[in-house]
Amino acid sequence: MNNETLDKLRQLRLYGMYDAFKTNLESSVKETLTADQFIFLLVASEWDDRRNRAVERSVRLAGFRYKASLEQVDYSIERGLDRNQVHRLA
């Protein structure tokens, strides 16, 4: 039954739920969760997965020349950047 459920989740392209369900099958956490907590965990995992894929797709489609992160910003050059403000806006 569990393999069938995993196959159906994959066919429905619910990859976040698939990963969460598979992880919970392999761990003992499922014994401590109520049904509604388990459903919440599956839905939250799917929501997070879709959000992350959307961000990755947007970054890929943006066609940025360089990969960069906030940690790579050089604040020593006088460019009028306030480190705290940049991190708050991120």
Provide DSSP, 23-88.
HHHHSSGGGT--HHHHHHHHHHHHHHHHHHHHHHHHHHHHT-SS---GGG---SS-S---HHHHHH
Q: Report pLDDT digits (tens) over 12-64.
A: 999 999 999 999 888 866 578 888 998 999 999 999 999 999 999 999 999 98
Mean pLDDT of 54-80: 85
This prediction has a pTM of: 0.69
Sequence letter at residue 57: R
Domain spans in the chain, listed from the N-terminal domain onward: 2-64
